């Protein structure tokens, strides 16, 4: 247990060893967070939209089974085949079955965190099917045999020279050419051939609309569309929480998603798939993999409202300074730290402790998930279940490394600005109560909110 539990702490220290890179990571994500703020502030109705999004998701979760059945019925009418997978293995087997039936050997895949969660690529590779990840960031990490370190910016842990070296090795680009346009165009050339010569395409799903049986996929690069339209088989994979009731709700979510993610007003492509094109087969795989359990945990059901915008990653002082790989889970960051213990409490016991509970995540979340309170709730459960002690100790180490590293003070000339970035919502708080006291109170004598308020008063 010790081994896994110390993973975040250890990985974070390794990440921080390259001080310049860690600082770049920290500052760049903070910049993305700032772009999110700017985009949000341009809409006077921003908070109203967050409320609506949150309420739509709450409602949907409260009637999820009914909406899923409605979705399935409509999708079937649309000529789409719907499959149900209870766990990762079944998801992989279903997809393999479809591909095998068509003797498909080469698959192009656009970004889907679910297929990462299910480790689909490994499964298919073991069955002699090659999968190319076509999102540029994912393609880069795939060539390097790494995992994405961020759900929206998969290669954010890498610098241009890394990409240049990787492409030189695998795509035979000029050695040492670090120009981003040159590198992007080189990948474009290779990937466009992959789209054309593949046998099948796999995409994720951003939103599935119950009333129409269709689904929406959002990309900037056009890779999901190139793959899906160029191939005779399109398989879309979704966690069952992707359902929304009506088409009109897309207006709310599409306004929030990309502004929260990168500060763009919308992704370049928001593609609405309803029926296969002539001569094409379209499949949807609806996946549980522990989600029904999470739905039943009253303290954590809200995590299923997540639309995977990653705003909580970009704002999180711990994520920014420990990097996505230190979370040893397909979804990293604050929301990953809530989802992961549901999948494997023992293995992921350290993650809810990898947070300062500053609440910045909760403040930016477009669907108003109470992220930091859920992290707090997990800590209580983990302590009770006997996983907490070691995890807590490990997390003290993480915090000491991640937040107390001398770099943090040299990041900017002024401590004030630095502190704003480290503790986005606790500027007046000198440091976080957490950091200062270096101890967590023993749960659960008081509620999180009470405890937090009291601590703040003492600062």
Partner 1 sequence: MSSREQILASIKQNRPTLTPLPDLQSFDVDIDLKSKFVETLTGIGGMCTIVNDFETVKDYLLEQQAKGLSVIQGVTELEGYNLNTYSHSHASNLETIDTVLINGHIAVAENGAIWVREKDILNRLIPFICQNLIIVIAQKDIVANMHKAYEKITIDEDGYGVFIAGPSKTADIEQSLVIGAHGPLSLKVFIVQQS
Q: Least separation, in Å, of the C-beta of 32 and ligand SF4?
A: 12
Which among partner 1, ligand SF4, none contacts residue 447 (Cβ within 5 to 8 A by kind)?
Answer: none
- Phi, psi angle pair for 131, to nearest 5°: -115, 130
- 177 interacts with partner 1 by CB under 8 A: no
CA distance 454 to 395: 22
CA distance 322 to 308: 20
Q: Least separation, in Å, of the C-beta of 64 and ligand SF4?
A: 17
User: Which residues contact residue 274 at a Cβ distance below 8 angstroms, ignoring those fewer than 6 apart?
Assistant: 78, 80, 212, 213, 214
Are residues 435 and 404 in contact, defined by beta-carbon separation less than 8 angstroms?
A: yes
Closest to 258 in 3D by CA, of 292, 296, 217, 213: 217
Long-range contacts of residues 173-180, Cβ cutoff 8 Å, at least 24 apart:
none
Q: How many CB atoms lie within 10 A of CB 457?
A: 8
- What is the SS3 assignment for 266? coil
Q: Least separation, in Å, of the C-beta of 262 and ligand SF4?
A: 12
Q: Least separation, in Å, of the C-beta of 42 and ligand SF4?
A: 19
109-138 positions binding partner 1, by CB under 8 A: 134-137
In order of 83, 191, 291, 370, 412, the CA distances from 63 in angstroms are 20, 41, 15, 21, 49
**Closer CB to ligand SF4, residue 108 or residue 310?**
310
CA distance 76 to 46: 36
Q: Least separation, in Å, of the C-beta of 298 and ligand SF4?
A: 18
- 171 interacts with partner 1 by CB under 8 A: no
CA distance 51 to 68: 23
User: Which residues contact residue 83 at a Cβ distance below 8 angstroms, ignoring those fewer than 6 apart?
Assistant: 94, 283, 284, 285, 286
Q: Least separation, in Å, of the C-beta of 228 and ligand SF4?
A: 24
Q: Least separation, in Å, of the C-beta of 181 and partner 1?
A: 5
Which among partner 1, ligand SF4, none contacts residue 394 (Cβ within 5 to 8 A by kind)?
Answer: none
Both tokens assigned to 218: 């959002």
- By CB under 6 A, name the binding residues for ligand SF4: 260, 306-312, 335, 364-367, 369, 371
Residue of the chain from 151, 236, 286, 335 that contacts partner 1 (CB under 8 A): 286
- Count Cα atoms within 13 angstroms, Cβ side, for 2: 1
Q: How many CB atoms lie within 10 A of CB 404?
A: 13
Residue 339-358 contact track with partner 1, rule CB under 8 A, x = bound: --------------------
Which among partner 1, ligand SF4, none contacts residue 310 (Cβ within 5 to 8 A by kind)?
Answer: ligand SF4
Are residues 404 and 414 in contact, defined by beta-carbon separation less than 8 angstroms?
A: no
Residue of the chain from 15, 123, 240, 319 that contacts partner 1 (CB under 8 A): 240
Both tokens assigned to 430: 């000198």
Span interacting with partner 1, options 55-63, 120-128, 349-357, 395-403, rule CB under 8 A: 55-63
Residue of the chain from 65, 128, 439, 442 that contacts partner 1 (CB under 8 A): 65
**H-helix or E-strand spanning residue 218:** strand 214-219
**H-helix or E-strand spanning residue 287:** strand 281-287
147-166 positions binding partner 1, by CB under 8 A: 153-156, 158-160, 163
Which among partner 1, ligand SF4, none contacts residue 308 (Cβ within 5 to 8 A by kind)?
Answer: ligand SF4
Residue 287-326 contact track with partner 1, rule CB under 8 A, x = bound: -x---xx-xx-x--x-------------------------
358-387 positions binding partner 1, by CB under 8 A: none
Which among partner 1, ligand SF4, none contacts residue 371 (Cβ within 5 to 8 A by kind)?
Answer: ligand SF4
Which among partner 1, ligand SF4, none contacts residue 343 (Cβ within 5 to 8 A by kind)?
Answer: none
Q: Least separation, in Å, of the C-beta of 375 and ligand SF4?
A: 11
Which among partner 1, ligand SF4, none contacts residue 192 (Cβ within 5 to 8 A by kind)?
Answer: partner 1
- 185 interacts with partner 1 by CB under 8 A: yes
Q: Least separation, in Å, of the C-beta of 367 and ligand SF4?
A: 5
CA distance 108 to 194: 7
Q: Can you point out the beta strands (E) in 22-165? A: 81-85, 106-109, 130-133
**Closer CB to ligand SF4, residue 213 or residue 334?**
334
Closest to 245 in 3D by CA, of 64, 51, 454: 64
Which among partner 1, ligand SF4, none contacts residue 366 (Cβ within 5 to 8 A by kind)?
Answer: ligand SF4
Are residues 425 and 360 in contact, defined by beta-carbon separation less than 8 angstroms?
A: yes
Which among partner 1, ligand SF4, none contacts residue 276 (Cβ within 5 to 8 A by kind)?
Answer: partner 1
């Amino acid at each position: 247990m010790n081994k896994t539990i110390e993973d975040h702490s250890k990985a974070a220290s390794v990440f921080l060893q390259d001080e310049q890179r860690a600082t770049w990571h920290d500052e760049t994500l903070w910049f993305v967070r700032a772009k999110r703020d700017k985009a949000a502030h341009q809409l006077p109705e921003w908070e109203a939209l967050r409320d609506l999004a949150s309420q739509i998701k709450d409602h949907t979760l409260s009637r999820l089974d009914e909406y899923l059945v409605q979705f399935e019925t409509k999708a079937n009418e649309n000529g789409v085949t719907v499959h149900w997978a209870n766990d990762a293995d079944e998801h992989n087997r279903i997809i393999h079955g479809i591909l095998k039936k068509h003797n498909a050997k080469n698959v192009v895949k656009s970004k889907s965190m679910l297929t990462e969660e299910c480790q689909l690529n490994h499964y298919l590779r073991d069955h002699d099917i090659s999968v190319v990840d076509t999102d540029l960031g994912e393609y880069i990490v795939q060539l390097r045999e790494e995992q994405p370190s961020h759900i929206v910016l998969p290669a954010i842990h890498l610098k241009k020279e890394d990409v240049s070296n990787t492409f030189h090795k695998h795509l035979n680009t000029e050695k040492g050419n670090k120009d981003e346009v040159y590198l992007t165009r080189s990948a474009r050339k290779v990937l466009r051939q992959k789209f054309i010569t593949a046998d099948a395409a796999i995409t994720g799903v951003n939103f599935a609309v119950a009333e129409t049986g269709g689904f929406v996929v959002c990309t900037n690069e056009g890779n999901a569309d190139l793959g899906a339209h160029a191939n005779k088989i399109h398989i879309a994979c979704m966690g069952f929480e992707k359902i929304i009731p009506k088409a009109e709700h897309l207006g709310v979510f599409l306004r929030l998603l990309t502004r929260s993610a990168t500060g763009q007003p919308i992704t370049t492509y928001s593609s609405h798939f309803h029926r296969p094109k002539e001569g094409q087969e379209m499949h949807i795989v609806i996946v549980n993999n522990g989600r029904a359990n999470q739905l039943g945990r009253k303290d954590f059901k809200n995590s299923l409202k997540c639309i995977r915008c990653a705003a909580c990653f970009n704002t999180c002082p711990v994520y920014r300074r420990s990097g996505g790989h230190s979370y040893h889970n397909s979804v990293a960051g604050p929301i990953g730290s809530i989802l992961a213990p549901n999948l494997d409490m023992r293995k992921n016991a350290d993650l809810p402790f990898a947070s300062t509970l500053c609440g910045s995540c909760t403040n930016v979340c477009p669907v108003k998930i109470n992220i930091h309170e859920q992290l707090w709730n997990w800590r209580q459960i983990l302590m009770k279940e006997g996983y907490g002690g070691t995890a807590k100790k490990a997390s003290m180490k993480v915090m000491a490394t991640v937040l107390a590293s001398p770099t943090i003070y040299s990041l900017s000339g002024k401590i004030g600005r630095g502190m704003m970035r480290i503790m986005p919502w606790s500027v007046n708080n000198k440091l976080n109560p957490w950091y200062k006291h270096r101890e967590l109170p023993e749960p659960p004598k008081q509620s999180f909110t009470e405890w937090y308020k009291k601590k703040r008063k003492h600062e």
